[in-house]
Chains A and B, each alone.
Chain A
């Protein structure tokens, strides 16, 4: 027997072994399902098939969605509904109570508003950088280059890393005695305490999240670029069209549907930023990199006085913002389908 045959048969038997328990469970489930089929008839079987999934959605998405609204209009510190008195719009009033919209410190719940402003700053900057860098990367990867597969996977690799791992990789580089400060001092500069300066902390929050997620958006744009017919470029080249003109007149308009998807998806993700930055900076220094989701998490779960009502009210507002963005996404997706 040749080696290839051996490995194939080995793999096949390993597969069989793994399939055994699955086969057994499915066989056992066959008995009640057959019985159910006899009772309710074939016509009603699809309901049985979609039931488990819908039950999960019902319990963990739909019910919570309504409960969230209830939480946001009740007060007290209890988790259970029976312990929570109705307070009307008090939670929202508390969140939105500001003497002046421009000055965050005049708000009663200034941590919320800092979260909002930080999130807005983050979203605007992060999404812009994300789009520019993923577009440039996609354009570069779409050229006739050597080892394209290798380069594509290099840019994609960080997407798979967990937010905690991403944050720790960069934290280790950015520490006071880290690699970057070693580099700066070797150039004759001084050490920079990146996590002590608010501006630097925000910069690295943006940088690290772009680093971690850029590959995902690059992939979507690359798929769009590869769908553009090469004939168009050949025709443009024959006409002697300049490269920049080709880019603005052919590439960008034809890439636009994918670009819109990227913009909306990047916005939806950026608004919900939490994991990487929470591990990287902990929201600090002070509240410089504390974002909306961290506010919800801290208010509801991580502070000594767990204020579920306030956290729920804040998440209803976040949900409203996301709803607008998601509707925009659906609108965009439909337009993409039509074109």
Chain B
């Protein structure tokens, strides 16, 4: 069997001698899959475990829940254990209560007979069960829903503004010849060199002066104009035939309507790439929101997650579920637009 798998995997078009790099390639690829996907899979599996199951060591692979049984004479269902009796037989018993190292147990089939069992001799009976409450509880109890809403507002709002002002600038810089155009282009390249880490303090001052501390606008606006976005769109708009624009002018179209009725529809592919990038940037943004948003009500998902994981008693069962929810949108976007994203990055060298 193994040799058949091996021969399938290593089958080649021309029967060349197997080079060591061929073996290395597949070993590397499969290790790579394990290392790249494994941690994410482990996160998702863990996020469905109950709080008690998460504290187990060593951890179980799948999320398991203890089976409970209805026993006559007891109101609540009792947890089931598999018990090794003194004579070596194994019975399934339900636990009534635990007193020190002894457990009082009962046979569900015979509720009258009560047994005293040392707790070392019993193992919980478990089945595969997803702890959905990890997902539903934070939505009701915590500000999780608000974080989610804030993140969506920031992502959508910032992306719309970015698309609008960047495409306007790209339109101005690609369709017209005007004095100062090259200067403007140079200036925009220059801003590429100044990441937020370098101007953290003064941008905070500007945002404070504008009264936008602890407001989502304070997160949305500072990064709305992106040099990479302007360049990406400009490169694309330069390829639009000038005849189209001249024809529109002949028809007495205003410059604004040339922008949004002629050039924008033709630039859709580039706009789509910028929109995808903007969504990714904003959804994942961390340092700047951390500086501007100090009050819990305005936290984005990323800040909320960071705050929860930094608590003294980390509620991992909630943190893990929230992490899964946070990575979900990006994963879905990736699943559908993978080709778009990878070619966009490979051609523009931006992220």
Do A and B come from the same complex? yes
For chain B, the count of residues having a C-beta within 8 Å of the partner chain is: 96
Binary CB contact string for chain B from 327 to 351 against chain A (1 if under 8 A, 0 otherwise): 1001101100010011001110101
Q: Which of A47, A52, A297 contacts B290 (CB 8 A)?
A: A297
Least CB distance, A334 to chain B, in whole angstroms:
12
- Distance, CA A29 to CA B257, complexed state (A): 10
Q: Could you say which residues of chain A place their CB within 8 Å of the CB of B205?
A: 64, 67, 71, 79-81, 308
Q: Which of A47, A186, A318 contacts B172 (CB 8 A)?
A: A47
- Distance, CA A47 to CA B58, complexed state (A): 65
Q: Could you say which residues of chain A place their CB within 8 Å of the CB of B254?
A: 30, 33-34, 37
Contact A155 B36 (CB under 8 A): yes
Q: Could you say which residues of chain B place their CB within 8 Å of the CB of A311?
A: 200-201
Contact B36 A211 (CB under 8 A): yes
Contact A296 B197 (CB under 8 A): yes
Contact B194 A52 (CB under 8 A): no
For chain B, residues 222 to 280, give those with C-beta under 8 angstroms from any C-beta of chain A. 222-225, 230, 254-257, 259-260, 280
Least CB distance, B220 to chain A, in whole angstroms:
11
Contact B342 A33 (CB under 8 A): no
Binary CB contact string for chain B from 170 to 181 against chain A (1 if under 8 A, 0 otherwise): 011101101001
- Distance, CA A37 to CA B256, complexed state (A): 9
Q: Is A331 an interface residue (CB 8 A)?
A: no
For chain A, the count of residues having a C-beta within 8 Å of the partner chain is: 97
Residue with the greatest number of chain B CB neighbours at <10 A, chosen from A158, A169, A181: A169
Binary CB contact string for chain B from 13 to 56 against chain A (1 if under 8 A, 0 otherwise): 00000010100111011001101110110110010000000010
| Contact segment of A94-102, A120-128, A136-144, A195-203 | A136-144
Contact A315 B178 (CB under 8 A): no
- Distance, CA A166 to CA B288, complexed state (A): 18
CB-CB under 8 A for A272 and B255, given A57-B187, A154-B33 = no
Q: Is A300 an interface residue (CB 8 A)?
A: yes
Q: Could you say which residues of chain A place their CB within 8 Å of the CB of B21?
A: 143, 243
Q: When A and B form their complex, which 6 residue pairs have the shortest distance between CB atoms, in order from nearest?
A: A49-B172, A56-B225, A162-B284, A64-B202, A33-B256, A53-B169
Using a CB–CB cutoff of 8 Å, the interface residues on chain A facing chain B are 26, 29-30, 33-34, 37, 42-50, 52-54, 56-57, 59-68, 71, 79-81, 136-137, 140, 143, 145-146, 151-165, 168-173, 177-179, 181-182, 185-186, 211, 216, 219-220, 222-223, 243, 261, 265, 272, 274-275, 279, 282, 293, 296-297, 300-301, 308, 311-312, 315-316, 318-319, 322-323, 326
19 contacts between A and B (CB under 8 A): A26-B256, A29-B256, A30-B260, A33-B256, A42-B255, A47-B172, A59-B206, A67-B205, A68-B201, A79-B205, A140-B25, A145-B25, A156-B338, A160-B330, A160-B331, A169-B43, A220-B349, A265-B349, A311-B201
